[in-house]
Structure 1
């Protein structure tokens, strides 16, 4: 058994852990990292964001290829299997692992491979796959262990036809029909992916509408396009039981419905990876979803232990986790830091969705007078050229001050387009108004020019009122 001493120990090398480790190393702290997986990058690289978004991109290319008449002359349609598409999508993972490994090596951050558990609030034991144990002491510790799919006890995930959002990336056959239970972000994304591959999809939503945190118009658009692509969406349902046999899976709902398919993908919630950490030895306790409570400095109830990323819950985004990791180090060194509350949503359905700021329902509830500017991608030259003509950009702004209050985008490259509006929203001293978009020249043809169209649309409506 070896012993190690660091100023700062990071448990978990995903987005939050990596960002914190790099920031601490650049601040001349002695940094150690514990990572349970054999390769760096965390679940984001191996089981979450990177593989699922790469899979989506591959499916999107397949759809575009099949929809272009010019390509039909090359040869007849060839059905693609899920394993083949998955293999094509997985090519990016080794590149990401190499990149993350280089970051740690360049900054001389030592990585200990194995499972961590607290011995006290300043000591952590790590055991590798061979049973070798080391003890690491550190003045400060960051818990950045991420999350995993929530698995209810009464669903048999060992059955070869039952999957969660991790194991679906190992599925080695192509079902003709699939049930997706849970219509959160992950469920909607996979519904798009499988529908794009031509599978018959039943998407079971436990709520009254899809992604209720979205602006109603965007949620409605998502619902329409999922159904238009063949997805059967069922709202306000609860699971009674799951029957899985060698011939298929039957999902029994409390409403009395029985849904049958070749496979089931369970996407109903996630759990923080804290159950193996022995948190009680450090004076901590996780909630029923395995999440750790933090304050606005990302500090837990134990003053030398911090937590960031999915393990603290909302917003559970890789983008936010990177910022949280850096914020932890800033708070630790008593520098100016930002508690991440304004992260834009990025939902990689087909088409994708992104938004920042307030929704119409929130503004109406708060009695804030606002107006709406819209631009439809089918009316933009770039959308017509690229064939990406589904979707819209929507700007919400104050009817008197013209301050931008919210931006919502549905369609191609929405997660990229949103950042233009986000940047203007955050401008100080009254520069955050919708007038920016009519007083600025945009490249033509671009998708970004939708901001000018939407701004003019909204301002014309204001002028009609005045």
Structure 2
């Protein structure tokens, strides 16, 4: 069936990140007149300062880990004199130059795609002037008025800081500022053990940095699968990371080349650099939301329903500014859903139980669907099976010792309702489980699909076979 035609409906999008540019592409495909007002660069923080840069840095870290384990596979390194090489090192300036270049290239690719699809990009800061008009303040201070039949707000979020922990961009850094480092930190303190903190701590540890992770909780990744977090903790401490759990940061100060993190119990930790991973705050101030009838919560996040509608008719919102689930993939889907809904195409409301996500640590942690915690709490009745990666033939060949595959399925029907993968490239391995969850496949259906032998994905099929009931 052909997609509906928008008949020239005017769509104005504030923000050019994944929620913004993906919604623009959908609206243009459906025949709308689309304008994106963007002040930070097309791609937003996901492309320019967050997802793309951090995962590029992590790609270098992954290579360091693989090379460090080469001896187990029988690979030795020699210097020019023929002597055994005794250490690995990284040129952080070159790494960061590559990171920033890849981010800029990706941003340029997206902007060219928008141009090809007929989307107008206005460089400026947008704000609502009622629900059906956007005022764009251009770089030289003039204003441009943009009438709209629908507006989508996708302004994203920024790193959270505290009055007692202010970044200086040199030694006290947010995760958006680390790519200006030219020299490898001698001793890095990461404050915050959520996804961002865990990823950077893991990456810099792999790059050979002395890393201390300060966590206010009793474990890293408190919102992730507990068994997966335990594997990451064990691997990270084995590789040399210092983990300070149940340690709440009071302040971060700098004296010359020394950074001091003071804890609320009076202890302190000193290092050469500190990364603040304290969460995010929405970029929703001064957007004219209240006057347009757009409601926000106490934290400034915009209320939206499952088709991305705000409380104002004709105004939608997507991405981190909604606080729904801070993933680029969710932002993009929220934006697409908004345009499908407004322009009359077939739309399925957002279902967070079908979202797959990944923590890019070493090892990676990928999840989809219902969690072990929800099952333990009785929110979902499910049977569980877990297989250690150490029993997988391909894992043995590649020297992989840590990680597991876990599947959850409904008793009786056998429908797969969730899963966890911990190991190298877990972000790729979760996909068959994600398909099973999205399409309500049974464990038997998942088990009966062919896998390559030997392969890591074979463990997913094997776990599914163990859930078979006669």
TM-score of the aligned structures, taking structure 2 as reference length:
0.90
Q: What secondary structure, in the 3-state scheme, does the structure 2 residue paired with 1:90 have?
A: helix
Distance in 1 separating the partners of 2:94 and 2:395: 30
Residue 159 (structure 1) shift: 6.1
1:422 aligned partner: 434
2:51 aligned partner: 49
Alignment check: 8 A CA contact 1:252 1:258 kept: yes
Of the three residues 54, 61, 74, the one matched with 1:59 is 61
- How many residues are treated as equivalent by the alignment? 453
1:441 aligned partner: 450
Structure 2 stretches of 5 or more lacking a match? 1-7
Distance in 1 separating the partners of 2:372 and 2:161: 35
Q: What secondary structure, in the 3-state scheme, does the structure 1 residue paired with 2:148 have?
A: strand
Of the three residues 260, 264, 277, the one matched with 1:254 is 264
Residue 25 (structure 1) shift: 0.8
Q: What secondary structure, in the 3-state scheme, does the structure 2 residue paired with 1:252 have?
A: strand
Q: Go from structure 1 to structure 2 and tell me whether the alpha carbon gap of 1:203 and 1:443 turns closer, same or farther (over 3 Å shift).
A: same
Matched, 1:413 2:425: yes
TM-score of the aligned structures, taking structure 1 as reference length:
0.91
Matched, 1:380 2:383: no
Alignment check: 8 A CA contact 1:9 1:138 kept: yes
Larger mean Cα displacement after TM superposition, 49-58 or 402-411: 402-411
Distance in 2 separating the partners of 1:367 and 1:93: 41
Matched, 1:332 2:342: yes
Residue 139 (structure 1) shift: 1.7
CA RMSD of aligned residues (A): 2.1
Q: What secondary structure, in the 3-state scheme, does the structure 2 residue paired with 1:451 have?
A: helix
Distance in 1 separating the partners of 2:362 and 2:243: 15
Q: Go from structure 1 to structure 2 and tell me whether the alpha carbon gap of 1:201 and 1:164 turns closer, same or farther (over 3 Å shift).
A: same
Distance in 2 separating the partners of 1:196 and 1:212: 22
Distance in 1 separating the partners of 2:458 and 2:319: 34
Matched, 1:452 2:455: no
Alignment check: 8 A CA contact 1:6 1:137 kept: no
2:414 aligned partner: 402
Distance in 1 separating the partners of 2:332 and 2:33: 20
Structure 1 stretches of 5 or more lacking a match? none
Matches within 5 A, 1:58-457: 58-69=60-71, 70-73=75-78, 76=85, 77-158=87-168, 160-335=170-345, 336-341=347-352, 342-366=354-378, 370-428=382-440, 432-457=441-466
Residue 403 (structure 1) shift: 2.5
1:21 aligned partner: 24
2:5 aligned partner: none
Larger mean Cα displacement after TM superposition, 86-95 or 389-398: 86-95
Larger mean Cα displacement after TM superposition, 198-207 or 287-296: 287-296
Q: What secondary structure, in the 3-state scheme, does the structure 2 residue paired with 1:315 have?
A: coil
Alignment check: 8 A CA contact 1:405 1:425 kept: yes
Residue 326 (structure 1) shift: 0.7
Q: What secondary structure, in the 3-state scheme, does the structure 2 residue paired with 1:203 have?
A: strand
